[in-house]
Structure 1
């Protein structure tokens, strides 16, 4: 298993990115510690979270729960120098906290640093760009944080292609920092947004890509085949649109390949991502040891899976259609 350099930065990570959205939501603090311990024990070092995680987790959740748990874990384990931490700013908390204005970014960064109990954020994401704030203001705020040693590098997620490119061009003037990574919504059944524009931008500006929703909310694991299956999980309704003949064909082929390589459909789906140009480490959460075992198997699988099987999945996913019923 080899490390990945993030963009032109000095950050190096292993090729799986652990999602922290479940910490403080579907996992307690104690359960989260077990998952974090298991992740690093398997040789990985890259943990992703956001300030807004997990404000949706119930009446007692105000956001920041995930960062707080990760911060306590880092302090308890004394492993800060072995971990690369990514967090994000800008998403709407639904209580007035949101956006990419300079003063808000500065306050949000300070709050994240306190919760994470670290001196600097390794990779700080612009979580969502709605186009309401001038790029110069947002990038200027990031520059101040970098100059102050509170952020090492910046990255972008949920940013329209035109805004992303304009930001990167501004950075070339030397007055602003450049994004080093991109976190798009991308997987075997969600390809259009990245393939159409973002992939070319990532390649041109050397952005390392960390796809989120790598398993399409669990759809690519094969556990959803019918409408009744959607009731198995709180995420079920979010994957209803994938229940089409094309979507189910992809799931069937994932199972065939899983049988061929003696692995799981989830591992095959994530291995496919590692063949996508500029992808460095697919993002996935885990709620049990078995999930960590699957994640740990992905780099080895990607090294031995046959190109014709990757090509077959690429061709099938290019024909994907969606169920638009509410």
Structure 2
């Protein structure tokens, strides 16, 4: 595993980040422990979660993924070796103050996450989305207090628009508070415009480290789907609608060719393309099993040629 600085900061994180949205949803606790163990054995040190994971699973109130990670950290005794990231913003209760980025909810949310994770600090605390009902200076001052109290060490954002990120950076500079040093956007070979149209320039200019989620397009870029045999389920129909387009199949075909040329696999090639982009710190990979994880772990070792990168750029261009 290779390591990269987290944006402009001095913190070193693994070039791949282990996502845990599936803990308590499609992955049981035993399998989750096995995947986290394998990730650490491969020298991965960066794990991402959120307080809301996996609230959309039937009967899941949220917080389950954090609880699983907390039990794993206690059993393994390796907290100081893990760069732990979590997020807040989405509803965690029925009260109007059980969501958002107000001072109240931020303070309540960090205490709940620390309790579930069985730790006294979060390495990277992230706003899961913006909050139009709360002034950005209130949000950043609350995060700043958490950093001063030693409860968080770095701050990040997820799903922010370019103007929202710029507003936050401007507010932090003006008021001398903690700033967003990372951004989690959806970014992959198929979904490029959302990040590249405006966010890319902001992140490169201001040293914001990019931690892309859905880097394999919900599994489409792993090559497990076939044009004439798409599985029939509610979740996978969403994959088909988003990614299994004519251009999507063309992109996947090029990925498969380069995987063959590099004696690798399509997951690793798709991730390697991301890692070759400016400002990218660590794509977030998901895995329900150790076998799935291993196919992605090869990505940091792949050296795509300029010609191969140009082919992928060309076939996936949104311009």
TM range (shorter): over 0.9
Three-state SS of the structure 2 residue aligned to 1:13 is: strand
Give the match for residue 179 of structure 2. 178
Q: Distance in 1 between matches of 2:218 and 2:228?
A: 15
Distance across 2 between alignment mates of 1:51 and 1:227: 38
> Aligned with 2:116: secondary structure?
helix
**1:294 matched residue in structure 2:** 295
How much has 1:171 moved relative to structure 2? 1.4
Which residue of structure 2 aligns with residue 318 of structure 1?
Answer: 317
Deviation at residue 80 of structure 1 after TM alignment: 0.6
Report if aligned partners of 1:87, 1:125 keep a CA contact under 8 Å in 2.
yes
The 8 Å contact of residues 161 and 198 in structure 1, kept in 2 or not, is answered as: yes
Q: Is the 8 A contact 2:7 2:279 kept in 1?
A: no
Q: CA deviation at 1:295?
A: 2.0
Aligned mates of 1:125, 1:71 — CA distance in 2:
18
- Find the residue that maps to 1:131 and give its secondary structure: coil
Greater alpha carbon shift after TM alignment, 14-23 vs 2-11 = 2-11
Range with greater deviation from structure 2 (174-183 or 69-78): 174-183
Aligned to 2:254: 253
CA distance in structure 2 between the partners assigned to 1:235 and 1:10 by the alignment? 40
Distance 2:55 2:318 in 1: 36
Indicate the residue corresponding to 1:98 in structure 2: 99
The equivalent of 2:83 in structure 1 is 84
Question: Could you tell me how far 1:117 is from its partner in structure 2?
Answer: 0.7
Aligned partner of 1:194 in structure 2 is 195
Unaligned runs of 5+ in 1: 321-326
Across the two proteins, how many residue pairs are aligned to each other?
Answer: 317
Counterparts of 2:318 and 2:125 in 1: how far apart (Å)? 35
1:265 aligns with 2:269: no
Q: Give the match's secondary structure for 2:87.
A: strand
Quote the residue 1:244 is aligned against. Answer: 245
CA distance in 2, matches of 1:230, 1:236: 8
In structure 2, C-alpha distance between the alignment counterparts of 1:233 and 1:38, rounded to whole Å: 30
Q: CA deviation at 1:93?
A: 4.2
In structure 2, the partner of 1:144 is: 145
2:180, 2:40 → 1: CA distance?
Answer: 26
RMSD of equivalent CA atoms: 1.6
Q: Classify the secondary structure of the residue corresponding to 1:66.
A: helix
Using the alignment, how far apart are the partners of 2:260 and 2:187 within structure 1?
24
Aligned counterparts of 2:70 and 2:236: Cα–Cα separation in 1: 27
Unaligned runs of 5+ in 2: none
Does residue 6 of structure 1 match 2:10?
no
Structure 1 runs of 4+ aligned residues shifted over 6 Å read none
Corresponding position of 1:324: none
Q: Which residue of 2 aligns with 1:33?
A: 33
Q: Deviations over 1:63-89 (max 9, x none)?
A: 000000001101110001110000001
Report if aligned partners of 2:14, 2:282 keep a CA contact under 8 Å in 1.
yes
TM-score by length of 1: 0.93
Whole-angstrom CA distance in 1 between matches of 2:231 and 2:136: 40
SS of 1:123 mapped into structure 2:
strand
